[in-house]
Structure 1
Amino acid sequence: SVLLAYPFAWILAEQVPERWQRLALMLAVLPFWTSYVVRSYSWLLVLAQNGVVNRALTGSGLISEPVHLANTRFATITGFVHFFVMLLTLTIFANLKQLSPSYRKAAADLGAGPVRTFLHVVLPLTLPGIMVGAFLTFVLCIGDYITPQILGGNNELLMPQLVMMQIGRRGDFPLASALSIILMAVVTIAYLACARWLKIERA
């Protein structure tokens, strides 16, 4: 998600004129106002054997037979990336907008080129935005039940699905509670690690 979100945020913050940035952000976020379930089933149709992806691949001659993409790990990851990349984009965009242009001007005055300025000035200063967005994305992904259930089917079981399986099918509430505690512990550890890193960066 970071590989997609950062260039998109950079284009919005640096390439789009400031008077059009609000409109660009609104247009970028607009598709995400639709129902979460509807978007999941839309991806299921796109990745189906007679869906858009397989038709494009077979039509271009890259493959001779449709590839099984739906109800796979690839479908689940694709859904996660599509659903949460905009959240990461917004956090990075906000961080880029807060970055003073004087930093890049100072780097240019010292002889740094665009690539070196980005790697040694812009990227380190925007790491907090990346970390916050990555943490929020991680929390939403690890607790998501709908996406792996619809796009992954029964082939990709994640922790929320295991919890629901123990409750709905087996009635094993103690095991479901234990799995839920493990899930909360993982999120807590990730939060503490992220908070500690941000505290160290600010110090």
Structure 2
Amino acid sequence: MTVIPLFLLNSCIQEEKLSPIQIENQVDAIVEKIHSGFFDFEVKGGTEDQRISIENEGMDGVYGVRMSDLENLEGENLSLFICSNSLNPGILQKIKINDASNTFAVCRYSVGLSYKAEVAVLLEQIEDERLEIIGRFDQGNITASELDAEMKRLRESFSVSYLAIKNFYSEFFKECLHTLVTEISKIFNEDQWQTFVKCVDI
């Protein structure tokens, strides 16, 4: 009877380690999933009585997370941080994760300055149009039904322009996020990383 050494059995039972390309693919998938929240927005107002508005200056998804939000880890936008904390990282890992998170915050802030400025200009332009439409209605130049149609057109016009701004800045924000997730993949050991991947649920 042939006896198979125990260390050979163990090596067969152990899962193969992921290659750098496989980990990189996982990083990309996580980034794509979390970044999609940037395009999850709601346009409010755009009526005779209310100007068009958006939440958080347009910083949707993970890019709108504040330090105060991290004290109460709830919500889909915080999944990245929830999953990191659920692994109970060691002290050194926590320090490195904090450093990576700070780098992400600085990057997001830098991109956000120009992005929010463009969004603010768009909001003011749309508000000028809204007031002009209301002025025409008050002067009797358009009917109530025409007013409603104009407001609907205005909201649609804003959404198209707003989405165009988001598309322009999307890759810049995504690069900030990609750097963060890449760093997390390096900070965690392989078992932790795979648990993290499952937690994010890509």
- Shorter-chain TM-score range: 0.3 to 0.5
TM-score (norm 1): 0.34
* Bigger RCO of structures 1 and 2 (CA < 8 A, at least 6 apart): 2
Structure number with bigger Rg: 2
TM-score (norm 2): 0.34
